[in-house]
Chains A and B, each alone.
Chain A
């Protein structure tokens, strides 16, 4: 090696030392990265804040982006916990296997997916089949489902949303959404759309439509009751017992996933969320607590 090369390598070494030192120091206080479901993002932020208030040396950052985004981030190693409002798809599990990621899933809350309309809409209930037909674009006027003579305005989520996928799989018979549907960025945008549009229908997590003070739906919105089939009893997602028993037909667990057994801050956060304190916060925010079976599974996955 000649002198010129040695000079360059020394310069390179110095540059590396200058850049690496602050990065490595900052890495010692690394934040736990939580990413994914928009339905869960507000809830997860509140849970993280309460967790950090009790554990100031365990910083947590929460981002949305959709269930698909969170799952991809966990597979690519760019987040520590992936939030999702749907089950993992087979192709995501396959990709995780390919990349050596071993997802551990924790059910942290139960959501009654709420079908909402503007409060001026006279309709009060729909069947599962009618909700599916509306979102598939097969019924385009409220009159077709017993409502007023009015063209239906569809509000929904983008395809990276877990709620978008959940509704398609569980209500729409895996058939595609109508091309007329307005694809909104998040639950809040759907609510804004429905509040402003008398002919609107939308779907959001129950925690977004409940007025925390009254326990009823937000002013200007109406939450439809849903029955499994025509003639059966219709239930509201605000009815905890109906959600718990499965009588409300479009309820779902909300998941947090880690790569392998959670450790350190991730384990502490999940223990906090599935524990009594976390579940109390979940209920306060309008979602529902996790039942005994799922809790048992959670405890197994923590080990």
Chain B
């Protein structure tokens, strides 16, 4: 069983396919370096790529910078304003000891000349890139008022080869596609990756024994447990917000898919739905009190909601086209994203739960598997680029779309890591 190492360079590349019409101009000045302790990491370049990939910022070209201050006191705000920037980011990397790196940054508003704020992060050489994403998160929140999600990761499935002999990988990468790590490989399908709320575990479905089985795997160590391999279907795991239970789909040998709860400590199973229809794709509300799921009890698939304290109380939530499936609840609980059919095309839509308003956000023909970024601002999903499956994302307001191109084969089922509080 050989170890597999992916090349260290980026395997995913972010391309902004549509941005806002009026992005915020910002100058991200190269940081003062700690040579050689920083290993050559260009923090400002990572931050620039993050912010530009969001579609909300336009960064000044380095060659146009007339000076390269690294401290806020040295920023001549009027000059940067004259060059068309609303903000200037400066920063320093220092190495107080052989194993420790300090990253400090300051954001200056060029209109007022005032320092908007600053941050300091402590890192080592292997966590320096993550610290750069945290700088991006700081800038994003300081300017837009929304927490950034650059320092989070995504899990997804990559598939190589042609049917019927394909090769499946479960991969975890930074949100910008860097540092991809294969955490499971199989000649049989792998499906439905789902993060635990503490981001230590991934649940997924693997068919490695020619049966469907639900596993949970500790991302850092690879330690894993088979938590359900009952007769028939074992599918669609979703961790409860407190991490103690999994919602999952079981069919038994009779083939009737229903949603159940599995207590991870006691292994106790509790049935939630009992309907001859297909009930599947559970997604928890953030308060842990209800579950949204797909059911075709009324004919075509639609989204329903059940109350965990009283699971017989089921309420239909979607009333759209003849096909609405795979709900994911937004982190604040105010919206659901799902797959809907428009004409012959499967697309990603978002529904505001209070008003019922539905907005179709994607434009592909076979878009599926939506997953909210932890800040709720963006939805990542699987789409197609010609014949190949790719990961794409769209902002919840529909203004910014991105495509992540890859050399890893066909990409599916992205799952965005939750925030760690």
Specify whether A and B are partners: no
